Chain A
Amino acid sequence: MIFIQSFLIIFIASGSLVFSQNSTQANEGRVRIVQLLRQENSIRRYPDALPSLLKMLNEQSNARFDTDPLFINTLTDERLLENPILYINCDEQPNLEFPQEERDALRRYMEQGGFVYLDAGIKASFLGQDLGHSYAAWEERPEVKELFSMILPEKTFIPLGRDHDLFRTFFTGLPKNKDLEIKTEQKRLPETVLSFVEREKWPQATYSFVGIKVKGRLACVASPICAMGWGRDEFGAWIPPISFRVRESAENFDQNLKLASFSGGTYEVTREDGLKDIIYSENGQRPLWVQEPNGKWRIFKYYSGEEISNYAHAFYSRLGMNVFLYALLN
């Protein structure tokens, strides 16, 4: 594909942020992201997200993206083949059932060098119909699995290692105070939250991603919903607010949670190591606690507020930028 070669000549700053707000605004040569919207009149999930992320990419790197995604409502749209990156928010689609011709088109797209990002392509079963939850399960959602078993029957999604280049294409590490534009001495997160985030939730700024290689190249990735962390309002403030779900332990929890009153249901969620966590959840409530395969019991605690939201947005945006820049370069 011609576009693959042409994109490789785009220079991307590495190592440190390069602010280039005064750069030329000409549209020629800008990379256009194609976004699938199968039903144009359906309720959009985070409509400001992708344009905001692309704007950030233009401001913070030397890559040049068109901040106006190109919407297509079918994968057979010929404009798909003219652009290198296809973004699909799986939560935004009425379903993930595609006719044969669209499945063929998607396969052809990947074989010819296209990159597919399935946002919300991972969704833990216990979330049910709830949208807007990003939970680090380590396998693609069943609908995605079924779809790709028809598109690429010889392939399966494989978890991306924590050392994968995708996680450090441009940004490395979790956001620090400077990145968050807050004072050095200010607490960026509550202690228990920061500790969980750094050690388990997003170690070295990684997250639960699975991917499929086509012709030796990573051609498709799926992640829990990340778009919720990309949006900014006109003044630069993050939207919408994001809360954290954090696993916490305490003295005697291994005993206490095993015996504590509970009348809901349990759900199994695949971990990074392939083992299963058992999530305890009651109807109408957010998940209560988790039994981990090593026999440890931990409780889910929920944190919201400005600092939580700002941190989550900063992380998801940095991650999103890494994904799109990785797609561009590979």
Chain B
Amino acid sequence: MDYAEANGVKMIIRTFLLSLFVLVFDLSAQVPAPRVQVESNPNNKGVDQNTTITPERSSEEKTIERAQEGLQSSEVGSRVGAAKLLGKYRSIKTSILLISALDDESALVRRAAMVSIAEHASNGFPVYDKTLAEKIYSKLGDPDVEVRREVSTMIPRIISPMRRSGMELIEINGRKVYRSVSSAMRPDLYKMTQDAFLDEDAIVRQNVLKYHTYLSVALPLLSLEELLSDSDLGVLLTALDRISSSASQPRIVKKVKALSKHANKGVRLKVVTVARNANSYHSDYRGILREMTNDSDPEVLSMAAVELARFGERVPEQVIKKIKDFLLGVSGLSTQVTTILYTVSSLGVDGAEIYKALTEHSSSQIRAIAWQRFINLSEGWRDSSVWLPATKDPDPKVRKVVLDGLRGRSNNLSEKQLGILVESGFSDVRIFAAQSLLDASQGTVESLGFDLLIDEDTIVRSTTIRAISARRVPGWLTIMKRSLLDSDYVIQRSAMDGLLEDKKEGVPLLIDYILKNPQSRISNLAKIELRKIGVQP
């Protein structure tokens, strides 16, 4: 089915296309015999063996001319070969030659031509002319399934020219008339697209369903209804994606409801998404979600439940237990599990309980999310007994998430609480303990600060030095003075920064150090810093 057969009423001559076709078919150059280049092989002396014949490659123009001849051959094999070869040369001429081959009587030639046209497009040379694009698209009605599949796959690449508006010169009863060309699809192609929704081939159906909105072709209600009963899973999932325009129709709601009990889990998960999105169009979608909280698959019921919770509905206790059991049983973070895990927050207090249970999950990724969410939902940063167990987690990423969330929020830790952190075997926890000295009571700082000062980890020690200098703990100047003598630059730097903050006692002590250790690396930096605050060392 192409344009000429479908619209044989008027003779519309599209001048642009005609001129291009004339250009192509007038090219009837003779193909010259290939020249050969003879090369001597110096390693061999025999007459027959010592020469290799390397045929000289022809120019692109000649190659295309030869392929053009091939396309006109009476042999199908030659026409197929020519169509395949033309896919390698991107030009308007080759595009037109290939498009002309789409009307070949042999399906093999039409297939080869369509694959070559697709090759041009994927190599950055799509067809730009509206008429040519329409010609390609018209093959969506080709009797050969491979051709139809190829065209339907190409739809995104020919949408742009097909929807282009402009002017055209036509001849009516001998008179040349300019008229506007609408961006709308030609009626025959529109009808063909609507028919293709129910093509006998599932791939074609799926592609047309996927791309029909780009073409501005409406999906008839009856077709959608039929597609929602399609035996092909790909078509079914795509059809579910396309219900939005008819979501309020009771027939569609009924179909979606039926699919909520489909044997395939992927389809049921899709129904959850669709029912959530279509909730505003029909009240029954909420009912579908409620029913799906009884699904046999814990993943499906969990998805349905969290979507209901997002709408503000209270989820029954037994369903919450199932969600918890499901999440406790998963072995890792799939996309679906991630979605459920994050949306458990919408269950409110019940969600916090689920997160609490998940803080003991075997997956560290799940534990990290669970701890973060549990602390936030339960305002656990106020109560160290909530988060202290997280500091014992063996995975550093879990501890990092928790400690990052606590910084700046967890204040005034008691000596006992800080003591637990100080005794931790993990340096990141001890660093957090050192940082917490800034908010701790003076007695706690004095009691625990010294333990941290002799920590094996440099960062713990330097953080402690900064905390002690900030808190002006009795004897802090002595600690700074000694720290300046440390062999570790990071420690020296912390001590220097602390001393610079106290102009009355700290700065003189720093100047004294510089005078006694002029060659020290930290002395150079200290001189610069002192000058910045107007002190000449």
Contact = CB atoms under 8 A, between A and B. Distances in A.
Contacts of B297: 21
B343 to A, nearest CB: 13
Contact of A67 (B87, B123, B206, B334): B334
Contacts of A301: 84, 87, 115-116, 119
A236 interface: yes
Contacts of A261: 57-63, 89
A27 B231 CA distance: 36
A262 interface: yes
Interface stretch (A92-100, A249-257, A317-325): A249-257
Interface stretch (B262-270, B445-453, B463-471, B510-518): B262-270
Nearest to B210: A306
Interface string B23-49: 000000000001000000000000000
B385 interface: no
Nearest to A59: B265
Interface stretch (B75-83, B169-177, B493-501): B75-83
Interface string B48-66: 0000000111111111001
Interface stretch (B325-333, B417-425, B428-436, B523-531): B325-333
Interface stretch (A80-88, A135-143, A155-163, A186-194): A186-194
Interface stretch (B12-20, B142-150, B282-290): B142-150
B201 interface: yes
Given A30-B331, A190-B146, A299 B88 contact: yes
A62 B202 CA distance: 33
Contact of A262 (B57, B84, B233, B330): B57
Nearest to A30: B331
A307 interface: yes
Given A68-B331, A181-B233, A307-B149, A187 B201 contact: yes
A298 to B, nearest CB: 10
B362 interface: yes
Interface in B84-133: 84-85, 87-89, 111-112, 115-116, 118-119, 122-124
Contacts of B124: 284
Interface in A159-203: 181-183, 186-187, 190-192
A235 B237 contact: yes
A260 B202 contact: no
Given A234-B335, A234-B339, A303-B115, A187 B266 contact: no
A187 B118 CA distance: 20
B332 A51 contact: yes
B153 interface: yes
B26 to A, nearest CB: 21
Q: What class of interface size applies to chain B in its complex with A?
A: 35 or more
Interface string A271-287: 00000000000001110
Contacts of A69: 332
Contacts of B233: 181, 236
A289 B87 CA distance: 11
Interface in B168-212: 201-203, 206-207
B113 to A, nearest CB: 12
Given A252-B78, A260-B58, A187 B331 contact: no
B116 to A, nearest CB: 8
B213 interface: no
Most buried by B among A21, A237, A302, A306: A306
B312 interface: no
Contact of A256 (B75, B81, B266): B81
A285 B123 contact: yes
B408 interface: no
B332 A67 contact: yes
Nearest to B90: A285
Contact of A66 (B116, B264, B332, B339): B332
Contact of B237 (A30, A237, A253, A302): A237
A171 to B, nearest CB: 20
Interface residues of A, number: 56
Contact of B201 (A186, A192, A252, A310): A186
B230 to A, nearest CB: 11
Interface in B211-235: 231-234
A306 B88 contact: no
A288 interface: yes
A258 interface: yes
B235 to A, nearest CB: 10
Given A256-B85, A304-B122, A25 B331 contact: yes
Contacts of B280: none
Nearest to A187: B145
B244 interface: no
A301 B122 CA distance: 12
A305 interface: yes
A305 B150 contact: yes
Most buried by A among B55, B57, B60, B365: B57
A111 interface: no
Interface in B224-271: 231-234, 237, 264-267, 269-270
A2 interface: no
A305 B153 CA distance: 6
A41 to B, nearest CB: 13
Given A26-B329, A301-B119, A260 B88 contact: yes
Contact of B88 (A236, A248, A288): A288
B149 A305 contact: yes
B56 to A, nearest CB: 8
A58 B334 CA distance: 14
Contacts of B80: 250-251
Contacts of A299: 84-85, 88
Given A68-B333, A191-B146, A304-B153, 16 more contacts: A21-B297, A48-B335, A67-B332, A68-B365, A69-B332, A183-B231, A234-B266, A234-B334, A248-B84, A250-B112, A258-B57, A260-B57, A261-B58, A302-B115, A302-B119, A307-B203
Interface of B: 34, 55-63, 66, 75, 77-78, 80-81, 84-85, 87-89, 111-112, 115-116, 118-119, 122-124, 145-146, 149-150, 152-153, 201-203, 206-207, 231-234, 237, 264-267, 269-270, 297, 329-336, 339, 362-363, 365
